[in-house]
Amino acid sequence: MFRKVHLYLTALCAGITTAILIVMSLLYLYLSEKELYENQFRSFQNDINTIATSLEQQSVISMEWLSKMEARGGYTFYALDNGIPFLYNRLTNLSESSEIRGLLENCLEIYRNNYADSYVSDTDGSTPFNTCVHTEFPYNPTGRQHEYYISIIELNRGTSSMQLLVLSPLDFLREQITRQRVRFFLIDIAALLLLTLFSFFFTGKLLQPVIESRKKQTEFVAAASHELRTPLAVILSAAECCRDAEAEKQSRFLDTIRQEGDILTSLVNDMLALSASDTQRFTCRPAPVELDTLLINTYEAFEPLAAEKKLSLSVTLPEESLPLCTADADRIVQLLSILLHNAVSYTPEGGRIGLSLSHKKNRFYLTVSDTGIGILPEDRKKIFDRFYRAEKSRSAKGHFGLGLSIASEIVRLHHGTISVADRPGGGSVFTVILP
Ligand code: ADP
């Protein structure tokens, strides 16, 4: 299921980012191409200005000069002297009815129809003496965009007039633009591949916590069912035996049922507490509390249980008075009870359990130490996991490996830390630090 979601998210993420990239690329291409053509048109106009000024200043227009100008700008010139094709016209000499010739004639036609107020052949002597005007415009004979820029320069000297048509093909610019488009296309393809790879890893990382939480949930359900099975099986078999047993034996079976029922209740309560913490319903109502008073109360509550197991329980408090701690008193008692309950359960008869409180650098240090079976270094991290029980403590009845998970949840709610260490001389020490 997660594989499908992963692929779907990858496609979605890569698709959206690539679509944005393509739109941006197209926009950039559009603007840059527009600017290229505009710049080219401006530079063409500047060239024509220079040519027109030189033409105006020359009394005799030399063929050599015309051909030099033509070669320099990569242009094609077509000149009319008083409406008659000029001797210079290279193209007209090459082929009278060539395509280019038709093109040039066509340009003149357009110019006459759209731009020229008076065409040279219409000159009737009213044309102003010694004038030079020029007009530039784009020309697309086949209907495609950006084929040529055209300029018509009209030079009038008294009654004689000359027209120079300058044709600037835009092939090189179109080639440059095509190359730019291909480059962008290749960059976009590469970006698409990279974005797909990135999206795959990115969404994989995003899904990781969901996958882990799902895995934990499945493990939790499996472990919970496993833990529930044993007391239930005992209850069912005790109930079965109770039915056929003699009256005096029945009470023993009923006691067993009651005991297992209590164990089940505590297990279900623990599971409910953890489920509440998962759904953020595990509440904590902090208020100023006297931790030393809480410690003494818990000590007193556990004293009979410790005595029953022949354990000595002691409490150590600092001599100076402590500041109030902002904490949920009920949760702190629950936390201390879990630690003390474990200490009592995992310490053999004759052992010692110590409860202590100290205050350093604005922090409260709560410790529960015992001279019990101790915890192996490889188990120290795992004991805070749900349903985890170290090998040597598996035989303890009524323990399901949930106590420390609840304890660490309480500590987390108080923004504190919980850790475990070896007690010098054997046993373990749990330390809770509260800010
Ligand atoms: P449990 O209900 O099984 O005690 P906990 O989450 O409280 O569950 O503890 C997890 C495991 O950590 C225990 O099963 C035990 O192996 C180990 N443990 C906890 N406290 C102690 C202790 N004081 N001494 C030795 N082992 C301990």
Looking at the DSSP bridge assignments, the partners of residue 352 are: 312
Mean local confidence (pLDDT), 253-278 = 85
Tell me which of 226, 274, 383 to substitute to probe ligand 1's pocket, judged by most ligand atoms within 8 Å of the beta carbon.
383
CA distance readout (Å), 49 to 72, 152, 153, 281:
15, 11, 9, 82
352 close to 311: Cβ distance less than 8 angstroms: yes
Q: Is the pLDDT of residue 124 over 60?
A: no
Per DSSP, the three-state class of 326 is strand
The pLDDT assigned to 97 comes to 47
Residue 113 DSSP symbol: I
Distance 260 CA to ligand 1 centre (A): 20
Q: How far apart are CA 287 and CA 347, in angstroms?
A: 34
What is the tens place of the pLDDT at every residue in 221-249?
887 887 788 788 888 988 888 888 787 78
Give residue 50's pLDDT band: very low, low, confident or very high (50, 70, 90).
Answer: very high
In short, whether 14's Cβ falls inside 6 Å of ligand 1 is: no
- Report the SS3 class of residue 232: helix
Task: Evaluate: CB of 423 within 6 angstroms of ligand 1.
Answer: no
Predicted confidence at residue 370, as pLDDT, reads 95
Nearest to 427, CA basis, from 370, 356, 357: 370
Contacts of 430 (CB under 8 A, 6+ apart): 339, 342, 367, 368, 369, 418, 419, 420
Question: Interior CA angle at 24 toward 20 and 25, to 5°?
Answer: 115
- For residues 52 and 44, is the Cβ–Cβ distance under 8 A? no
Closest CA to 149 of 45, 33, 36, 79: 45
State which H helix or E strand residue 42 sits in: helix 2-57
CA nearest neighbour of 139 among 174, 170, 178: 170
Map tokens 């150590």 to a residue: 316
pLDDT of the residue at 104: 77
Say if residues 50 and 73 touch (Cβ distance below 8 Å). no
User: Which of 346, 371, 388 to probe ligand 1 with, by most ligand atoms within 8 A of CB?
Assistant: 346
- 342 Cα: distance to centroid of ligand 1 (angstroms): 6
Q: 């006297």: which residue's tokens?
A: 290
Q: How far apart are the first and last CA of the chain?
A: 43
Tens-place pLDDT, residues 303-327:
888 998 899 999 999 988 889 999 9
Cβ proximity of 331 and 410 under 8 Å? yes
Alpha-carbon gap, residue 411 to 417, rounded angstroms:
6
Q: Is the entire prediction scored with pTM above 0.75?
A: no
pLDDT mean across residues, the chain: 86
What are the tens digits of pLDDT across the range 161-217? Answer: 888 889 899 989 999 999 999 999 999 999 999 999 999 999 999 999 998 888 888
pLDDT of the residue at 245:
79
Name the pLDDT band for 107 (thresholds 50, 70, 90): confident
Residue 125 confidence (pLDDT) above 90: no
- Residue 184 phi, psi dihedral angles, 5° rounding: -65, -40
